[in-house]
Amino acid sequence: MKIAPSHLLRQQTFRVLLQALSQPGRVWALPTAAPPDGWQTVLATLLDQEVSFAVLGPQSESVAAELRELTQASAAAVSQADFLLIFGGGSQGRIVEAKRGSLAYPDQGATLVYLVAELQEGGLQPAPVRLQGPGIPRERCPRISGLDQAEWSYLAEINREFPMGVDCFFLDRNNRVLGLPRSTRVEIV
């Protein structure tokens, strides 16, 4: 049986997630008390009995069972889920099925959570994408190790009709997070 993170830890995690969305492309450290699997704390912060989720990738059934126990959220089809958890660096295009909201209710788009190897704000080698939009002075070029590069194309497609689209978090093995709200323009380099 999994033990849910404390209320204080969930509050601290929520603040970091808000910072990550308000400054897209920057890498933020999750609270130090987060367990080695920080994704559990993040999802315990975001999910509750009123939302649904889908898991894509290896061991999706066991992870879904763990999430139901931890959060009381219900599993759903990709096209109906409020949150998508993507293991293994890629969705093989399944994220294009995600809810995008509507012009009247853009907030009903899904939130994607990718588990990746490592996040970097930039580096010496050219990044595969350029991010622009609110919260980004000029541009940011993050590098995300362990992410299938095709995912950038899928994300650009899903979010091309702003305000509709999906919000996205990338979590790495070092308990760091990078946010990408639907308002961010993704240019593939």
79, part of any domain:
yes
SS3 54: strand
Distances (CA, A) of 75 to 51, 65, 115, 150, 163: 9, 9, 18, 26, 26
Q: What is the CATH number of the domain that holds 42?
A: 3.40.50.11310
Average pLDDT, the chain: 91
129, part of any domain:
yes
2, part of any domain:
no
1, part of any domain:
no
Domain containing residue 80: 7-188
178, part of any domain:
yes
Structural domain tally of the chain? Answer: 1
- Prediction pTM value: 0.93
128, part of any domain:
yes
Q: What is the pLDDT of residues 1-26, one digit of tens each?
A: 456 778 888 899 999 999 999 999 99
